[in-house]
Amino acid sequence: MKTDDIGSPDAAGVEIERLPFVCPESWPSWRKWVYIALVSYCDCLTFLVSMMLAPSVPQVLATFRPGGGGKPLGSFSVTVYILGFCIGPLLLAPLTDIYGRTRLYRVYIVGYIILTVACGLSPSLETLIVFRFFAGCFGGAPMAIGGAVIADMYPPGERMRPMACYSAGTMLGPTLGPVLGGIITGGLDWRWVFWIASILAGIAALGLFFVLPESHLPTLIRRHTRTSVTARQGGFESQTQESVHAEAFVTAVLTRAISLPGRIAFFHVPCALILVLICVFNGLTNMILSSLGSVYQTAYGFPTTTAGLSYLGIGLGGLTALAFARQMTRSVAVKFGGKTGAERPENALPFLFIVGPLGSAGLLWYGWSLEERLHWIMPIIGLFFFGFTYLSIRLATQIILVEAVPNFSASALAAHTVASSIGGAFLPLGTFPLYELVGYGWGNTVVAATNLAVCLIPLAMFAIARQQGSKWSMEVSLWIAE
């Protein structure tokens, strides 16, 4: 086997069998699962902190706006973190396809810890918002890099199970964040949200610096090739030539790396449509997540310390999706694509429009249970079904993009993260105005109908794929020229 298929000109023509290191796909299974647990923890941390501050907003406003007012800025101090997700993956994650995973992971965690501590030390609300934004920029990086690490370790067709387990962090973070934030709000000062987040990030830093190895095969090959050339040509002279070369081309390399997610999003229609779907769907999801605690405090009189428990339904739904969505997606892909159907991303499209209506049903259950003030457990049951759909669609769209852009998986996931973050940052701004205008019942009916409408996107894509056959493919061919 040669690495010409990997998509790296530096690695072209090198035979993997003759390399002095073990290919990441050949690592022992137990090692892979240790690394999956680590990158999943980093993902969980990102989502945990995004929602931990929500119950503390009244305390934040009491500190910085003791005379009252400032509610829009208080809410923005929560959502601005999600807005930062649009920047971090776009700048950091694509560079991992060129410079490797571990180097960028370490840059992320150091910056994240510094900015999280800065949030806790903020002297004003405006300063807190600025630091939260930049913390979100760094915090969004694992959302794109983690999936790429899994793609490094598993070949196409074998990634669904590890990707599903990795996505546990994506589901647990938003579920545990409000619960933990509510406890902190009730027993400690709001600044302890950031002290605790810094401690949790410090644990992640230990793993990223001392446990996680480089998994990007082209980077490993480039490092080996560079070391061999240095040994043959003489250390000082070779390093000097390399330094000059790096200085001459660094701007071009950075520009190309940052442009990769844009090329995926704007120059390939199938991938662009998947990104539109996840943009809208994640926005709808964050409409529920960002308002759920406040809704339960208003509708059912839950105190701040227990309002976070309302997130358990959507969390349990997500965990159920982890158990069953992988096999369901694979079964659907095999049914429509044959025994090798799981290796072609377009065969996963039917799963999206099959599971989508379940989420709309859950939203209707949730909204009208609130509207009629049924027992508080009833809306949570409805959100169980929506939580199942949420993680199923998020997982399936990640898999589709990773398989569609096999040579630049981090860039594909960066595009996924940016698209989901744009929707997640801005659509929730309309949640409470919608509820105030038409109530919980009709408001969530609008959300459910929108969810159902975007599920028509994969349905249309699959219909076109079946009609055109081999002429239609989701795979994107990207190349970084020297």
Higher pLDDT, 406 or 23: 23
Residue 78: which of 25, 16, 129, 148 has the closest Cα?
A: 129
Give the pLDDT band of residue 244 (cuts 50, 70, 90).
Answer: very low
What whole-number distance in Å separates Cα of residue 127 and Cα of residue 133? 10
The CA-CA-CA angle for residues 293, 298, 301, to 5°, reads 90
Residue 168: which of 362, 348, 37 has the closest Cα?
A: 37
What whole-number distance in Å separates Cα of residue 141 and Cα of residue 201? 13
The CA-CA-CA angle for residues 258, 260, 262, to 5°, reads 90
The b/e string for 74-106 (b: 16+ C-beta within 10 A; e otherwise) is bbbbbbbbbbbbbbbbbbbbbbbbbbbbbebbe
In order, the DSSP letters of 355-375 are HHHHHHHHHHHHHHHHHTT--
Give the pLDDT band of residue 360 (cuts 50, 70, 90).
Answer: very high
pTM of the full predicted structure? 0.74
What whole-number distance in Å separates Cα of residue 76 and Cα of residue 277? 24
What whole-number distance in Å separates Cα of residue 172 and Cα of residue 139? 16
- What are the structural domain ranges in the chain? 3-9+22-471
The pLDDT value recorded for residue 252 is 64
Residues 6+ apart with CB under 8 A from 266: 272
Higher pLDDT, 75 or 108: 108
The pLDDT value recorded for residue 70 is 61
What whole-number distance in Å separates Cα of residue 367 and Cα of residue 359? 12
Burial class (CB in 10 A: 0-12, 13-18, 19+), 188: middle
The pLDDT value recorded for residue 391 is 83
Q: Which CATH number does the domain 3-9+22-471 belong to among 3.10.450.50, 1.20.1250.20, 3.40.250.10, 3.30.70.2190? A: 1.20.1250.20
Residue 460, both tokens: 């249309």
Other beta carbons within 10 angstroms of residue 198's beta carbon come to 19
pLDDT of 60 > 50? The answer is: yes
Question: Model confidence over 153-191: pLDDT tens digits?
Answer: 888 777 778 887 887 777 778 778 878 887 887 777 888
Residue 311: which of 242, 215, 376 has the closest Cα?
A: 376
pLDDT of 240 > 50? The answer is: no
Question: Model confidence over 203-218: pLDDT tens digits?
Answer: 999 999 998 888 777 7
The pLDDT value recorded for residue 482 is 44
Q: What HEC string does 191-246 produce? A: CHHHHHHHHHHHHHHHHHHHCCCCCCHHHHHHHHHHHHHHHHHCHHHHHHHHHHHH
The pLDDT value recorded for residue 115 is 93
The pLDDT value recorded for residue 347 is 73
